[in-house]
Amino acid sequence: MADETNNPILEQEVDWNPTEIPNETLLLDGTYEMDIEELKKAFSSTGKLMPKARFRVVQPDSCKGQSLFAQYVIGSETNPNPAGGSPEWKGRNAVDLGKLLKKSQVQMRGGKGSFDETLAAAAHQHITLDVGVRKGKDKNGNPRDENYIKGYFTVGEKQPGLKAATPGSSSNGNSGSTAAPLSAAEVQEKLAAASSEDE
């Protein structure tokens, strides 16, 4: 092991702001302008076609840089890698993938070999997403909250903003209550409150 006692790199000061570290990796219920960092073809552990997306928040500023992941399982048990025209391409996940591509204004064309190109063309396009929080389970079956995409919009079609739960609503805003966008100050206040609860 190298001697680190006289290492000048270890003596450098670190300039950081702990208030900028998110308390949670989950996004709050709201509308976000996102950069599509990556959209690629992938397959599930059972061999089903399952494109994966990685998004990065552009707006609102209070959440800028946070990430969101999504996967679109299109294959089925009987048809893991369906050809065009197969019933699997009419399912919910295929429809959502189509919305993602259309609303990010990616040119789509069919046929062999074009799928990878179409997905790659989505890289660094911007899209607006309505994101919610719901109860889910981790890979071990333990309960946890998770984000999900509620809607896809072209940039400018819907304003980015976070939603505040109204009295009587659940923490994820799925109780049918109305919600109003939060200001940046209100977001910081919520984050500070969540931080003090963790301590």
Q: Give domain status of residue 131, yes or no.
A: yes
Q: What is the pLDDT of residues 110-161, one digit of tens each?
A: 877 789 999 999 999 999 999 999 998 888 999 989 999 999 999 999 999 9
Q: Which domain holds residue 32?
A: 18-162
Query: What pLDDT does residue 13 have?
Result: 81
What DSSP assignment string belongs to 75-87?
Answer: --SS-SSPPTTSG
Q: Looking up tokens 């073809």, which residue turns up?
A: 41
Q: Give domain status of residue 199, yes or no.
A: no
Q: Give domain status of residue 97, yes or no.
A: yes
Q: Give domain status of residue 35, yes or no.
A: yes
Q: Give domain status of residue 91, yes or no.
A: yes
Give the separation between CA 133 and CA 93, rounded to whole angstroms.
18
**Mean pLDDT confidence for 35-52:** 96
Here the tokens at position 105 are 């204004």
Q: Give domain status of residue 198, yes or no.
A: no
Q: Give domain status of residue 13, yes or no.
A: no
CB of 43 closer than 8 Å to CB of 63: no
Whole-prediction pTM: 0.72
Query: How many structural domains is the chain composed of?
Result: 1
Here the tokens at position 32 are 């976000």
